[in-house]
Amino acid sequence: MDAGCKAARQRLKDTTRTEYETLIREAKLTPTQEDILRRHILCGDTICKISLDTSISERRVKLKLHQAYAAVSRICT
């Protein structure tokens, strides 16, 4: 994961709920990206659990997470 995505992930983890929702809205994530990110950041679900619950492959879950972090990173710079 590149530095921008790591910074975005940390920023999302450190924000309040209101700030989190503002960042997500401004990043214009797809519903799938938003759901996966919410499960991973807010609920603490693992990639494996998200994959099993959503019937999306682990590789696709990782891709969607990376895309979401990249979108948040773009609005944070």
3-state secondary structure 8-55: HHHHHHHCCHHHHHHHHHHHCCCHHHHHHHHHHHCCCCCHHHHHHHHC
Taking the model in full, what pTM does it have?
A: 0.91
- H or E stretch at 61: helix 58-76
Q: Cα 4 to chain center, whole Å?
A: 13
Angstrom distance (rounded) from CA 51 to CA 65: 12
| Per-residue pLDDT in tens (0 to 9) along the chain, 77 residues | 788 889 999 999 999 999 999 999 999 999 999 999 999 999 999 999 999 999 999 999 999 999 999 999 999 87
Domains of the chain and CATH, by start: 3-76 (1.10.10)
